[in-house]
Amino acid sequence: MGGVREGSVITRKPIGNQSFNLSLPISSMSSLVNTVYSVRLSSSAEASCPPRNRRLAAKPSCISLNSKRRRLVVRATETDTNEVGAKAPDNAPAQSGSSFNQILGIKGAKQETNKWKIRVQLTKPVTWPPLIWGVVCGAAASGNFHWTVEDVAKSIVCMLMSGPCLTGYTQTINDWYDRDIDAINEPYRPIPSGAVSENEVITQIWVLLLGGLGLGGLLDVWAGHNFPVIFYLALGGSLLSYIYSAPPLKLKQNGWIGNFALGASYISLPWWAGQALFGTLTPDIIVLTLLYSVAGLGIAIVNDFKSIEGDRQMGLQSLPVAFGSETAKWICVGAIDITQLSVAGYLLGAGKPYYALALVGLIAPQVFFQFKYFLKDPVKYDVKYQASAQPFLILGLLVTALATSH
C-alpha cells in the first residue's frame, strides 16, 4: 500500500516485526467512530470526549460537537420526565396509595379492583362515626339506658341501622348522582372511573336502604312501640337523603338548605332514634338538636371547598361558589362555634353551669385548630382539621346529652 491519499486515515497494525499501513475513507471512519461513541454515551451518563492522544479521526472536533449535542438531548429528556412525574398525583392517586384510605373512602386511596372493597369504599365508613355517636347521645339523653345485654344489643342494632346501612345508602346514592361532578373533580373515584358498574351501584343502594328500614322496624317491635317511630325516622331520613342528592329537588344545589339538611341527618336523626329507642322524644330535645344541626351545616361546608371547580361547572350553588372561598371559610367556622356557644348559653340558663363550662372548654381547641389548619387552607388541610377538631365537637354533643338527661 503506497502513499497516503487525501481524505484518508492511517493507522499502523503491527504483525510480527512488520507494520502495514491501512487506509480508509474519512467518512467511513467518522461514521464508525460516531456509532461506537453513541453506544458509549447510552451506557454511561458520564461519558466524555475521547482522549486527546487517541487519533481516531482526522477531525476530532466534529465528534466533540456531536457529543455535546447528544448530551443536551439526554438532559432535556430527563427534565421532561421529572415534570410529568410531579404532575401525576394531581390527576390520579398513586399506585402506592393507601389501602386504609381506600377502605375508609377518603382521598389518597389506592386504586382497587376487588369489588367488595369498592362497595365498602362507596359507603364511606369514615362518615359512620358521627351517626353512631349520635345514637350514643340519644341513648344517654333518654336517661333510661342500662348496661344490660339487651340494651347494649339494641343500641348496636340501632348503630348498624344509622351507620353502615342508612349512611352507606346516603353516600352511595350521593356518589351516583354526583358522578358527572366527580368526573371533573375526582375522575379516579369508583363510579366515574368505571371500577363499578351501574347495576352494581343501583343494587347496593336498594340493599342498604331496605336493610336500614328493616332494622328500624325490628327496633320498634323490640322496644314495644305502638307507633313505629324509629321506622318512620329511618324512612324520613332516607327520603331526605334522596332529595338532597337527586333531581329535581337536589337540595345540595343550594348551599344553605343542602348543608343544613346534611347537618340534621348527621346530628338530629341518630340522636332522635337513640332517644326514641330507650325513652321518649320531647319538643325541647327536638329544638335543641335542630339547633346543633347548624353546627353540622358548618361541618358540611368543609367538604365543599374541594369541589368548587366541579360545582361551578355543574351550576351547584355551594357556599364557596356563591360567596367565594374566603367568605365561606368564616361562615363555616362561625356556624360551628356560634352554635355551640348558643347551646352552652342554653345549658347555663337551664341551671347547669358545669355542663355549660365543660362545653365551652371543648369549643376552645376547635377554634385553635380552625386557625392552625382550616383558615389557612381549607382544601389542603381539610382532613387534618376534621381529624383534629371534630372529636371535641362530638364530645360536646355527649356533654349536652348528659346535661339534658339530668
Helix axes 255-278, 382-405, angle to 10 degrees: 40
As assigned by CATH, the class of the 116-279 domain is: mainly alpha
- 97/101 Cα distance (integer angstroms): 8
Tell me whether domains 116-279 and 282-405 share a fold.
Answer: no
Place of cell 360545582: 311
Nearest to 269 by CA among 303, 241, 304: 241
- Position of cell 334522596? 242
For 227, the 3-state DSSP assignment is: coil
- Residue 155 pLDDT > 90: yes
What is residue 303's DSSP assignment?
T
DSSP letter assigned to residue 110: P
pLDDT band at 371 (very low <50, low <70, confident <90, very high): very high
Question: Which percentage of the chain shows pLDDT scores above 70?
Answer: 76
Three-state secondary structure call for residue 315? coil
The CB density around residue 309, as the number of other CB atoms within 10 Å, is 12
Q: Find the length of the chain.
A: 406
**Which range among 148-152, 290-294, 309-313 shows the weakest confidence by mean pLDDT?**
309-313
Half-sphere exposure of 81 (CA within 13 A, CB side): 6
Identity of the residue numbered 205: I
Continuous H helices in 92-197: 99-104, 115-123, 128-142, 149-160, 168-177, 179-185, 190-193
Give CB contacts under 8 A, 24+ apart, made by 86-93.
Answer: 91/187, 91/188, 92/187, 92/188, 93/188
**What are the residue boundaries of the structural domains of the chain, listed by start?**
116-279, 282-405
Contact, 343 vs 291, CB < 8 A?
yes
When comparing pLDDT for 21 and 385, which is higher?
A: 385
pLDDT of residue 326: 95
Closest C-alpha to 124, from 156, 61, 169, 181: 169
Three cell numbers written together for 44: 454511561
Of the chain, the percentage scoring pLDDT greater than 90 comes to: 63
Q: How confident is the model at residue 262 (pLDDT cuts 50, 70, 90)?
A: very high
Cα–Cα distance between 142 and 138 in angstroms, integer? 6
The architecture CATH gives domain 282-405: Up-down Bundle (1.20)
- pLDDT, residue 31, reads 45
Distance of CA 309 to the CA centre of its chain: 16
The answer to whether residue 393 scores a pLDDT higher than 80 is yes
Q: What is the pLDDT of residue 406?
A: 67
DSSP letter, residue 224: T
Per-residue confidence band for 57, with pLDDT thresholds at 50, 70 and 90: very low
Query: Which of 49-63, 72-86, 258-272 comes out lowest in average pLDDT?
Result: 72-86
Q: Give the chain's mean pLDDT.
A: 81
Cβ atoms of 101 and 81 closer than 8 Å: no
Kindly indicate the confidence band of residue 6, based on its pLDDT and cuts at 50, 70 and 90.
very low
8 A C-beta contact, residue 285 and residue 293: no
Q: Residue 83 above 70 pLDDT? A: no
Name every residue whose Cβ is closer than 8 Å to that of residue 277 and which is 6 or more positions away in sequence: 135, 138, 139, 142, 154, 155, 158, 219, 223, 230
CA 178 – CA 246 distance, rounded (Å):
9
Neighbours of 10 (CB within 10 A): 13
More confident residue, 360 or 96: 360
